A and B are shown apart, each in its own frame.
Chain A
């Protein structure tokens, strides 16, 4: 089933007319109401009237994550504060978060695009959606939740973690669709074995997996172990959260909900727009957003875009599953982590040196296991195991606070982490996707 045939299967020229209309409206609005954008436009000498065709979007300035942080909290708010009904934040590299504000229309739009995604994965109002994304400030949980309600599914807001309960619910309520990170789905498969649950006896037909990079190999493994059809979903808090794009049953690229999120691919070095089919950095403009719309947001994600005549009937542009990042961001257990965040934590702790190495691996559990090797400041070395354990606990707690994930801390001797010339090798990623 297609949730919104009118929008998703529309003739491309007709869609372009609407996109242009919304783009013009947005550009005028942000120019007139947000000093940050006015200044950026003026610096480039571009006026809202210069946008005459969709291609003219390339005249507009980019917006970066750093700028979102600099304008925190309300510098990019495009509506009256009292029209905001919900906010989400995502953590940044330096501790300053990034704000996403939603008006009630934005929440409706979010529910709509997420409902489309569920349908792309074969969802109908008769489905039981077990939503294993975290609820709260993270957009994964509530985004899927709104979409599932919009579609009229039975929503199980189980949130992340508590694997035993996940499996019990899945069995007892015959969940038909599962939403969580791909690695967590494999972890569930392991636990199911221990509990004597066979996925063949469960009712899952589809899984929508995202919030971390994965591969076709992992897809195969997930589909075999969980006995379901696996779909890739893409989204980010800066744009809306989950629901930006999703795979359809043709499993050949992710359909972008481009009537709301206008995508471009650029050369990350020159900023030049690349033609369809070429690999580069993904850029989005949220042409219908009211709370915190964003002009040409540089996602740092690398992929390419193309149109084809998809067997599902949708005419929306497709993006390839993510091919990498233009920065050093790591995705650990679905959480975005910048090595610099870890550095900030270590700087705050006087007992350690800001010399560290992050070792990421996926053990038998299929979940990311993160070890942080830290050098002890020589003055704080004692022969008392107790005080070294205290330092470890302190670092662990601060990292948990900052990143929201638990890491294993290993104290190493001063000067034992290799200093390389130039940029130190901070991350050893042993994960094979």
Chain B
């Protein structure tokens, strides 16, 4: 149920991000989602890839500091209010969201939103109990 997200430490300087995409493209890794959090002098790139283990391996080989973080991917209908529904459920059940982002494509006419929550097991329980669908992988 948990999805493997790869987090990469990046210095804020020219060319670092394209270096990552170059390595992944040469390694024929398909990306499903990515987001970047920036601060004054460094950023954290977060990637969902079809082959997470290989992705991690490649980045490490190229001397990047990268690690696996577990997140939840919730599959939602592509309609107004769908996201709010899951947010409301999280709020009611005190699931603390650290960040979230959306994926790059629709899957079976549904969208997938990635959630990083404080207590992932609790988060997943709540998703299941409320009859929603969490993906395992792409």
Q: How far is the CA of A384 from the CA of B40 in the complex (A)?
A: 9
A383 and chain B: residue at smallest CB distance:
B38
Q: Is A423 an interface residue (CB 8 A)?
A: no
Q: Which residues of A contact B12 (CB under 8 A)?
A: 386
Docked CA distance A384–B39 (Å): 8
A389 at the interface (CB under 8 A from B): yes
B128 close to A (CB within 8 Å): no
Within 374-428 of A, Cβ neighbours of B (below 8 Å) are at 384-386, 389-390
Within 8 A of B (CB), among A236-283: none
Interface size class of B (residues with CB under 8 A): under 10
Chain A: CB-nearest residue to B41 = A386
| Chain B residues with CB under 8 A of A384 | 38
Tell me, in angstroms, the Cα distance from A289 to B39 when the chains sit together.
55
Question: Given the complex of chains A and B, what is the CA–CA distance between A384 and B36 in angstroms?
Answer: 11
Most chain A CB within a 10 A radius of its CB, from B12, B38, B39, B40 = B40
Within 8 A of A (CB), among B19-77: 37-40
Please give me the residue from chain B that is nearest to A389 by CB atom.
B40
CB A3 to nearest CB in B, in angstroms, measures 55
- Give the chain B neighbours of A390 by CB distance below 8 A: 40
Residues of B within 8 A of A386 (CB): 12, 38-40
In whole angstroms, how far apart are the Cα atoms of A386 and B40 in the complex? 4
Nearest CB of chain B from residue A297's CB, rounded to whole Å: 47
Closest to A387 in B: B40
* CB-defined contacts of B39 to chain A, threshold 8 Å: 385-386, 389
- Closest-by-CB residue of B relative to A393 is B40
Min CB distance B10 to A, Å, is 14
Report the minimum CB–CB distance from B22 to chain A (whole Å). Answer: 25
Which residues from B are CB-within-8-Å of A385? 37-40
A158 to nearest B CB, angstroms?
35
Chain A hits for B38, CB < 8 A? 384-386
State how many angstroms separate the Cβ of A384 from the closest Cβ of chain B. 7
Cα separation A384 to B43 with both chains bound (whole Å): 12
The smallest beta-carbon distance between A397 and chain B, in angstroms, is 14
Q: Once the chains are docked, how many angstroms separate the CA of A143 from the CA of B12?
A: 49
Using CB atoms, name the residue of chain A closest to B37. Answer: A385
Kindly provide the distance from the CB of A339 to the nearest chain B CB, expressed in whole angstroms. 29
Q: List residues of A (316-363) whose CB comes within 8 Å of B's CBs.
A: none
Alpha-carbon distance between A224 and B22 when the two chains are bound, in angstroms = 64
A217 to B25: give the CA distance in the assembly, Å: 66
Inter-chain CA distance A208–B38, complex, in Å, is 48
Least distance between A408 CB and chain B CB atoms (Å): 16
CA distance A389 to B37 in the complex (A): 13
Cβ–Cβ < 8 Å partners of B40 in chain A: 385-386, 389-390
Instruction: State in angstroms the CA–CA spacing of A385 and B44 once bound together.
Output: 12
Q: Which residue of A lies closest to B12 (CB)?
A: A386
Write the chain B residue with the least CB distance to A392. B40
A396 CB, min distance to chain B CBs, angstroms: 13
Minimum distance in angstroms from B17 CB to a CB of chain A:
15
Which chain B residue shows the least CB distance to A384?
Answer: B38
With both chains docked as a complex, state the minimum distance between the C-beta of B108 and any C-beta of chain A, in angstroms. Answer: 31
8 A–B contacts from the bound complex (CB under 8 Å): A384-B38, A385-B37, A385-B38, A385-B39, A386-B12, A386-B38, A386-B39, A389-B40
A sample of 9 more A-B contacts (CB under 8 A), given A385-B40, A386-B40, A389-B39, is A384-B38, A385-B37, A385-B38, A385-B39, A386-B12, A386-B38, A386-B39, A389-B40, A390-B40
A-B pairs with lowest CB-CB distance, top 7: A389-B40, A386-B40, A385-B38, A385-B39, A386-B38, A389-B39, A386-B39
A residues in contact (CB < 8 Å) with B: 384-386, 389-390
